[in-house]
Structures are given as C-alpha cells and as structure tokens.
Amino acid sequence: MATLLIAEHDNTNLNELTARALTAARAMQSPVTLLVAGSNCQAVAEQAAGLGGIERVLVADAPHLAQQAAEPMGALIAELAQDFQAVLAVASSTGKSVLPRAAALLDVMQVSEVTKIVSPDTFVRPIYAGNAIETIQSSDPIKVITIRSSAFEPAGQGDASAPIVAVPTPKTRHCRPLNARNWRRRTGPIWDRRASSFPGGGHSARRKHSTSSSNPSPPNSVPLSAHPAPPSTSGYAGNELQVGQTGKVVAPDLYIACGISGAIQHLAGMKDSRYIVAINKDADAPIFHVADYGLVGDLFEILPELESKL
C-alpha cells in the first residue's frame, strides 16, 4: 500500500516544507501520493507534480476547503486514508489541527513531531521538551504522523511530472456544520522557519519595543520572534510569533537569542539551529550552555553596534 502526504500550501504556492515532509514519506518504503486540498489550487498541484518520488497528485478542489479547516479536511483525509498504509503531514499549525481529527475519525493513535523514520511502523520523536528521544512502534493499521520538517532535507525535483487526479470532496457528515467557526482573515507568513538568520527576542525586548515592524529585517532574515510565554501573555507580541514547546519549531543557519534566558520550553523550539548566538546581561543564563557564541551585555547596546558592523 502507498503513503498519503498532505501538501502544505496557500492555494497558490506549494510550501517548501512539503518537500521536506516528502523526504520523510519516502522513508516509509512505499509509493507516495500527494494530496492537494484547497480552493482554486490547480497551480499548487502542478508545482507538486514536479517533486521527485511522487507517484501521483490528488486534487480536492472545493470552496469549503479554502482555509483547510480541521472539520472538512479531517473528513476528506479519513475517507481517502482507507486506501493507504500511512498519512503524513508537516507539524505546522495546519497539520497539527487537521491530522488529530483525521486520526480520531480513523480510530487510530497519532504519532506527533517525528524526526526520523526507522521503518514503516517505527518512528523517533522528541518528548519532554526535547530532553528525551522516544522510539515508537505503532501497530495501528493506518499510521497518522506529523513530521518535524526541520529534521529532514527537502526532496529534489523529479525527471517527469506525476499525474494529477481530481478526487471528489465528501460531505462533511462527520463534522460540525461549517459555520461553527466564522473565518475572519489569514495573515501572511510571519517567518520562514528555515530562513538563513533568525533573531529571537525575550521578555526584556519589551523595553524598547524591539518587535516593532518599523525596523525591517535585513534580506534573508525574519522578524524578531518572541520567547514562548512572557511577550505574548504581556500583550506586546502575538501568539503566532512564539518559538518553543508551545509555539513554532525553527532551525535556521543562525539563531540570535536576544535577552532570552534559555528555558527548556524555548530551547525545544530552536535548539536544532546550526549556530546559536546568545546576547544576555546574565552571564549565568542557561542559554549560554547551548550557544556557539555568547555576548554578555545589554542587548540594546550590543545590537546597534552589531548592526553597524554588519
């Protein structure tokens, strides 16, 4: 049987994270079928068809799939999954919302945040905020898995385009009415989790509002992110900017931790970065134990000087 991979996209462009999840899907040792579900998403399907190692691309195109909400997506995946040995998706906000519902409809256990495919039924994932690594063997007839994309290299382009097949969208009989939630808007992506550089700001960044968009980031970098809890709970940084155990997982080439103490909840979201630079007034801050380079001092004095040098 084959593996079903859920494409990550915005109805116009295929997200690069899909290519990373494809690498994981190919490790399942079975043909890979990619599902593009959305509205007016034919362009995404055509982009996906060019990836190497895909047997075919399924397209479910319907207005109620435009936002890829959990209710209609869960019903769609649960119906399609009967013909597959496994269903994989990126552990993004969409994947974390959709796949648990699909797993519940299939009456199987989900395996979350997988970082390595050992075999078609055995997987490796971090637990306890990344302080322990767990190897899981699943006996479920259909494996439902979210992939930590930063752990996998992107798959390349194939020699030929895979066939694109349209599939019907099921009636959402398993779901609450689609008007149970009223969609307001979707903002653009806050960052690229694989950006070459990634500055992150802790609680002390509030002093001069360093997360303000009035200071644009340089090319190939991303806006200043937020330590998992204090900035968002204090109201000066949105939840979508959180990096850590309860936020996003990023793995850039360079992560600059500005005024971040290094709590284990935050480390879980950025410790896989290639190089980590820490700036903190506290020389004993835990962040220095994981940093490749450390600067002890006031971030509001160090950052302007660093910027002038760059």
Looking up residue 32, the CATH number of its domain turns out to be 3.40.50.620
| Mean pLDDT, the chain, integer | 83
| Chain segment 214-223, per-residue pLDDT in tens | 444 444 444 4
* % of the chain with per-residue pLDDT over 70: 80
- What integer pLDDT is reported at residue 233 of this predicted model? 60
Say whether pLDDT at 197 is over 60. Answer: yes
Domain count across the chain: 2
Q: In this predicted structure, which of 98-107, 186-195, 202-211 has the lowest mean pLDDT?
A: 186-195
In a domain, residue 188? The reply is: no
Are the beta carbons of 220 and 162 closer than 8 angstroms? no
Residues 117 and 47 in one domain: yes
The more confidently predicted of residues 158 and 165 is 165
The phi, psi pair for 303, rounded to 5°, reads: -65, -45
SS3 state at 297: coil
- What integer pLDDT is reported at residue 237 of this predicted model? 63
Residues 146 and 235 in one domain: no
Helix (H) or strand (E) run with residue 112 in it: strand 110-114
pLDDT band at 89 (very low <50, low <70, confident <90, very high): very high
pLDDT band at 211 (very low <50, low <70, confident <90, very high): very low
Residue of 40, 57, 44 lying closest to 9 (CA atoms) = 44
In a domain, residue 191? The reply is: no
The one-letter code for the residue type at 119 is S
Sheet holding 122-127, edge to edge: 116-119, 122-127, 132-137
Torsion of CA 282, 284, 287, 289, to 10 degrees: 150
Residues 10 and 151 in one domain: yes
Residue of 10, 2, 103 lying closest to 53 (CA atoms) = 2
Please say which residue of 180, 207, 224 terminates a domain.
Answer: 180
Residues 234 and 142 in one domain: no
In a domain, residue 34? The reply is: yes
Alpha carbon 223 to chain centroid, angstroms: 17
Residues 158 and 239 in one domain: no
In a domain, residue 186? The reply is: no
Which of left, alpha, beta for 10 (phi over 0: left; psi -120 to 50: alpha)? alpha
| Chain segment 254-276, per-residue pLDDT in tens | 999 999 998 888 888 888 888 99
pTM of the model: 0.71
What is the domain range of residue 82?
Answer: 2-180
In a domain, residue 192? The reply is: no
Looking up residue 207, the CATH number of its domain turns out to be 3.40.50.1220
